[in-house]
Structure 1
Amino acid sequence: MDSNSVLRSTVAAVIAAALTGGVGGVARAGESAGATTGESAGEMAGESADESADESAGQNARQVTHLGVWTMRAAPEAPRFRAPTKVISKAYAFRLVTRHTWSGEQFQCLDSLWTRESNWDHRAYNSGSGAYGIPQALPGDKMGYVARDWRFNPQTQIRWGLRYIKGRYGSPCGAWGHFRSHNWY
C-alpha cells in the first residue's frame, strides 16, 4: 500500500468518526487498532503527501456533508386559516336550496329552522329525545339511507334534511311555519 492510499483511508476514517460522534479508536490503515488516537492526518502519513491529502480530504468532506444534508426533518406547518364547519354547511345548504329552484326566502326559513334546532352543529345531540345532527333527525340513523357517514358528515345530514322537508312540508318555509306553531317539525 502506498502512502497516498493510506492517507486517503485515514482521512476518510477520521472524518467519518468525527461526524458519528468521536475520534476514539481510529487507527491508520495497516496498523493495529491500538495506535494512538489523537494524531492528525499529517503526522500519520508524513509531510510528503500534503497536497493530495488536502484534495482527498476536501472530496471526502463534501461527500459526507452532502449525505448529512438529507437527514434533516422539517415539521409540517399547521393550516393558517380554516373556515368553520357552520359556514361551509350553510353554503352547501344554500347551493342545494337553489338547485331545488326554491328562492332566497326559502333559504332564510331553512336557516332560521336549523339555527333553532341545532345551530348548524353536525354533532348536535338531544339527550332527551335522541335527535341528532343539523336537521335533528329522530332517530339519527334515519340519515343512513343517504350515506353511511351521517354521524360526522354535515353534507349528508343536509341532503337528508332537505329531502325530509320537501317530502313532508313541501318547502323550508312550510317546515318553519309548522315549527313556529307546534315547536317541532
Structure 2
Amino acid sequence: MSRYRGAHRGRHARPSEGPLAQALGVARRPAVTAGMALTLVGTGAMGAGATGANADAEPFTLSPNAMSLAALSAKETSADNSRISSERAGANAQRAAVNAKQEAEAKAKADAAAAAAKAQAEALAKARAAAAEKAARDKQRASIIANAKSDPRSAARELAASEYGWGDSQWRCLNLLWEGESSWRYTAENPSSGAYGIPQSLPARKMAKFGADYRSNPITQIKWGLWYIEASYGSPCNAWNKWQSRYPHWY
C-alpha cells in the first residue's frame, strides 16, 4: 500500500528560522558556535566531501556574518588572554617587590640588632676594663697608703695626684718643700717651736682636722699638709717659692 500524502503537504510554510540561524545563514542544520566555526575553518572541514550516512547532506557553509562573529570572538579571546597574562605578570612583579621589601626590612632589622648587640658588648667590655683598671689602681693606692710609714713620699705623690690633680712638676716642689721641713719623717718635731710631722704643722693639733691619730699616722699628716698648701698657696710650687724666700724657712 502506498504511503498517504496529504493534499496540502506542499502548502505548509517552512518553520521560521531563529536570529542565530539567520546570522549563520544555515537552514535546516544545527547552530554552530563561533569557536566551532573557527575550528572548522582552521581544519578545512567546511566544503569537504561527506562519506557514509552523510554523503547526501548539503555542504556546510558559514555566512559572512558568522565569519565576522567568529573572528571577533577569537580577537576577544586573544585580548582576554593577553590581559590575564599581563595581570599575572603584574601580580608576580608586585609579589616579588613585596617579598624583596620584606627581606630588606628583615635584613635591616637583623643588621640593626647585630649592631646594637655589638655596641652593647663593646660597651660592656669597656666598662669591665675600666672597672678592672680602677680596681687595680685602688689596690695599688691602698697598698701605697698602707706602706706610708715606710714610704711616705709615694703616699703623698698618690694623694696629691688623685685628690688635687697635681702632676710631676708640682710633685717636685712638694718633695723639696717637705724634705726641707722634716726630711719626710712623720715623727719629726721642731724643739723650739713645737711644729710636728711631715708638713711641720704648728701647732700639731691642727692636723686633728683629718684624724685624731695625727701623731702616729703619716696619711693624716699628708692629707692635712696638702689641704693647707692648697688653701694657703694654691699649689706646692707656690708654697716652695715662698719657703725659699724666707729665712729661717717656713711656709
TM-score bin, normalised by smaller chain: 0.5 to 0.7
* Equivalent in the alignment of 2:250: 184
Offset at 1:86?
6.0
Question: Structure 1 regions of 5+ residues with no counterpart?
Answer: 1-82
Offset at 1:85?
5.3
Aligned pair partner of 1:167 in 231, 234, 238:
231
Identity of aligned residues (%): 48
Aligned pair partner of 2:202 in 138, 141, 144:
138
TM-score by length of structure 2 reads 0.39
Aligned pair partner of 2:153 in 81, 87, 90:
90
Offset at 1:87?
5.2
Offset at 1:96?
1.2
Offset at 1:102?
1.4
Q: Which amino acid aligns with 2:156?
A: A
> Which has the higher Rg, Structure 1 or Structure 2?
2
SS at match of 1:96: helix
SS at match of 2:202: coil
Q: Find runs of 4+ consecutive structure 1 residues off by over 4 angstroms.
A: 83-87
SS at match of 2:199: coil
Are the counterparts in 1 of residues 186 and 197 from structure 2 also a CA contact under 8 Å? yes
CA RMSD of aligned residues (A): 1.6
Q: Which amino acid aligns with 2:160?
A: V
* Alignment partners' CA distance in 2, 1:154 and 1:127: 20
Size of the aligned set, in residue pairs, is 103
Q: 1:92 to 1:84 in 2, by over 3 A?
A: closer
Deviations 1:134-166 (A, max 9, x none): 000000010011100000000000000000000
Offset at 1:98?
1.0
SS at match of 2:188: coil
* Alignment partners' CA distance in 1, 2:168 and 2:242: 19
Offset at 1:184?
1.0
Q: Which protein, 1 or 2, shows the higher relative CO under an 8 Å CA cutoff with sep ≥ 6?
A: 1
* Alignment partners' CA distance in 2, 1:85 and 1:159: 12
Question: Structure 2 regions of 5+ residues with no counterpart?
Answer: 1-145
Q: 1:85 to 1:98 in 2, by over 3 A?
A: closer
* Alignment partners' CA distance in 1, 2:165 and 2:186: 25
